[in-house]
Amino acid sequence: MERTFQLILGYDGTAYAGWQVQLNQRTIQGELERAVEELVGVRVPIVGSGRTDAGVHALAQSASLDLNRWRDDAASLGRALNTKLPVDISVLRSEEVPFGFHALRDATGKRYRYQIQIGGVRDPFEYRYLWHVHGALNVESMCDAASYLLGTHDFACFQATGSERKTTVRTIRDLALTKGEGRGGQGRLTIEVEADGFLYNMVRNIVGSLVEVGRGNYSPEWMLKLVEGRDRNQAGPTAPPQGLFLIRVDYPPSPKSLQSTII
Amino acid sequence: MERTFQLILGYDGTAYAGWQVQLNQRTIQGELERAVEELVGVRVPIVGSGRTDAGVHALAQSASLDLNRWRDDAASLGRALNTKLPVDISVLRSEEVPFGFHALRDATGKRYRYQIQIGGVRDPFEYRYLWHVHGALNVESMCDAASYLLGTHDFACFQATGSERKTTVRTIRDLALTKGEGRGGQGRLTIEVEADGFLYNMVRNIVGSLVEVGRGNYSPEWMLKLVEGRDRNQAGPTAPPQGLFLIRVDYPPSPKSLQSTII
């Protein structure tokens, strides 16, 4: 009998060429498909909620797979996969879900976190997980600029050139900037963005543009013009990948209880 | 004019064969001496407050060096060294101190932290900084066992075999166990030990023995017998290096104000 499982994954993206399988490259999806094949003897496609780029991390990526060769429960599948996976990829949770659940098509939203270190000395433990910006950032201006992005807009200006999506309209549900402190008292800025979906490189392009405002190169109102102009060439540079974490993927409420209602 | 500088260093020990210079090995001291040589043109010995082993980390190691070729202030020395050091070693603070200050001889105490994960799934970001212990630990028993180690004792039972020190008597000033939670809700146990000095492998041997008590293999009172027996072969196994951090080195109060008093 074919069954569908959802895996919640954490990974340190430093050593990987991103999520998606590529020839002659180590990828997260590739490591997972290899691990599943070692367990059940056949190659099975693993569907991710979306691709993460080379060097991007996940605290809770969501993936799904259909298996007809697994005779045990979902928790055992997760534990067994962890024994086959490299140390920088972990199955954090494993659940059996209604047959046909699809981690990409069924996703209704995602939340990302981007970590910036403002000035100060390089942290020898955190440099893989931060964009280290030298000089000061005016966080108040950045918050003002961010407010123009909330809601439903055409975000073509933040889409990586060369990518083609049917529509570049997305709804940003939350965009929060939080100041903090690193272990050594260095300034930290955390930017969290939640939307119904993201264009390719959208978070990193938003962050790169917000930092331009924080540096005083543009006024907060520039952000409004950017969105209206729909021109990628006007936006700020793409922020580097190592500061970015996929932290949550949302699905319609409780598919399992839905199914038990149907039954 | 010869001047003495103190450096406070943070490093991720994962990629290094420990502090001390060794032939054909990457070491923290080796990287520092190379960086100083690149700056001032001659090889100058760097004195550490003590050696850390391969894989052991530091949030605040202390080191000293004498320089007669540095014309600028201490902060500039620190910044210049950071441009020459690998990303996983940072000068966090740099100060000019009374001439002749010696990071090893003048140290009056040290504090170490050891991080344990109790059970749960491997954390893909923290595995380099934890000892992952499977199964449960009775932390109350471990606290009882730890209480026998406080104060001045002959700690020969925790000295690595083969090392020779004049005396194996040390004073443990603080030994604190703190339960916490990892990002994914995994159980965490942090053990901090402060003493006037440490024997080779002493912290890791104490931690290894405390974990034996936590696992229920020995009673807390076994710790008392261990210390009285002075026999390394009776103690628990040495805990792995990656959970250990040197977090503070103490010196007599304010050598600088002392000097200004003398002047």
CB of B41 closer than 8 Å to CB of B64: no
Residues of chain A scoring pLDDT < 70 = 254-263
Is A129's CB within 8 Å of B127's CB? no
Condensed to tens digits (0 to 9), the pLDDT of residues A158-191 reads: 998 777 778 999 999 999 999 998 877 789 999 9
The secondary element (H helix, E strand) that includes residue A34 is: helix A28-40
Average pLDDT over residues B15-26: 94
- In sequence order, the 6+-apart residues with CB closer than 8 A to the CB of A190 are A113, A114, A115, A116, A177, A178, A180
Q: Which amino acid is at B81?
A: L
Chain B: give the shortest CA distance to residue A92, in Å. Answer: 6
Residues in chain A closer than 8 A to B91 (CB atoms): 121
The secondary element (H helix, E strand) that includes residue A187 is: strand A187-195
Phi and psi angles of residue B147, each rounded to the nearest 5 degrees, phi first: -60, -25
Residues in chain B closer than 8 A to A127 (CB atoms): 87-88
Interface A:B, Cβ pairs < 8 A: 52
Condensed to tens digits (0 to 9), the pLDDT of residues A128-145 reads: 999 999 999 999 999 999
**Chain A residue with minimum CA distance to B80:** A121
Is A90's CB within 8 Å of B121's CB? yes
Nearest CB partner across the interface for B122, out of A57, A90, A125: A90
Q: How far is the C-alpha of B15 from the C-alpha of B55, rounded, in Å?
A: 7
In percent, the amount of chain A with pLDDT more than 70 equals: 96
Q: How far is the C-alpha of A33 from the C-alpha of B86, rounded, in Å?
A: 35
Condensed to tens digits (0 to 9), the pLDDT of residues B45-91 reads: 999 999 999 999 999 999 999 999 899 999 999 999 999 999 999 99
Residue B218 has pLDDT above 50, yes or no: yes
Q: How far is the C-alpha of B85 from the C-alpha of B26, rounded, in Å?
A: 12
B53, B106, B123, B196: which one is catalytic? B53
Residues in chain B closer than 8 A to A52 (CB atoms): none
Q: How far is the C-alpha of A219 from the C-alpha of A223, rounded, in Å?
A: 8
Q: How far is the C-alpha of B22 from the C-alpha of B55, rounded, in Å?
A: 15
